[in-house]
Structure 1
């Protein structure tokens, strides 16, 4: 791919990641993503012929980013397990982990996303295995369970509801972390 085409593709993914991480699905349009990326809608479609293709590319980029965070969390985990685990979770929340919603539901026909997701989930299992002896996560929980619960609890809310309950996301995440300790 030419450097200028690659740059436009990256701009589109960056704009989409921002929108997916900060807006409810009903407020996200491909036209809006193209405008935020500074490209025309035809350029967006040239790189991503469908919304699903764009979301898959976003999921792969996001997984690459958070895998670095996961590696850092696992490195030296035993020094302060609770703080490292909670820092990992809160960083996911702040980075808009809801971006992964489509990737969690992807099937084997989705090019590259399933393999990337599964490789990442294998590493999350390492985190679960390290956290369980410290009582941070109850044994028997799966990476997919934790990811799904976190994504559902942190999806951006529509403006009226977000205005009524501005702290709901953080309260739900705190509830999840308590529940993960006790759920088997």
Structure 2
């Protein structure tokens, strides 16, 4: 019987994790269909609204958690598998294409929170940090231009999002222009890039995302 005492708090911690995970999954399901509310998400998760607020005190917290889940489950496994790829530029293209698919599928996230640009900047920075080993591998293999930095990747991806994640863009059109866009990473006959200016770090990226969201 001496082991019985610790079980209650341990089970509570497991239940808390389970509730949070259900809320995040419900957030993806509800917002994946378009507009949604916190009450709808709570109902989908099978929890009360008070439980939802205990885990996620506002919409921004929930969207951040959903974006983290998307990164962890849909993108990081692809990045891990691609790190030692014999064709790193193609792997990077595949990852970016998957990102565009996810942005299209999860469009409801954009309108669910007012400061989506701020939230998206943080997610893109985490994604670019994860892509750094793949970028360096591609540069060592001679497949990716050496003057590209990991800090360039979020802006590069936003360029793709701006034109290729708009409603009505067909998969064929997206594939065609993603291939064209990624040709810019090819070191063959590449013109040297101008120096990057970091005095307004994050501001230009936030502005670019805001423009895409408004469109």
Larger radius of gyration: 2
Per the shorter chain, which TM-score range? 0.5 to 0.7
- Count the aligned residue pairs: 162
Residue 150 of structure 1: CA displacement?
4.5
The answer to whether the aligner puts 1:148 opposite 2:155 as a matched pair is: no
- Report the alpha carbon displacement of residue 172 of structure 1 after superposing the two structures with TM: 3.2
Which residue, 116, 119, 143 being the options, matches 1:134?
143
* Structure 2 gap segments, 5+ residues each: 1-11, 186-192, 194-215
C-alpha change, 1:123 and 1:9, in structure 2 (3 Å) is closer
1:160 maps to what in 2? none
TM-score of the superposition, structure 2-length normalised?
A: 0.58
Change (3 A) 1:140 1:85: closer
Distance 1:120 1:170 in 2: 25
Q: Tell me how large the CA RMSD over aligned residues is.
A: 3.5
Q: Distance in 2 between matches of 1:46 and 1:117?
A: 27
SS at match of 1:2: helix
- Tell me the CA shift for residue 8 of structure 1: 1.0
Alignment of 1:35-184 (within 5 A): 35-65=43-73, 66-75=75-84, 77-78=85-86, 80-81=87-88, 83-94=90-101, 96-97=102-103, 105-106=118-119, 114=122, 118-131=125-138, 133-134=142-143, 139-140=147-148, 142-152=152-162, 153-154=164-165, 157=167, 165=168, 167-168=169-170, 171-182=173-184
CA distance in 1, matches of 2:26, 2:133: 32
Q: Report the structure, 1 or 2, having the larger helix content.
A: 1
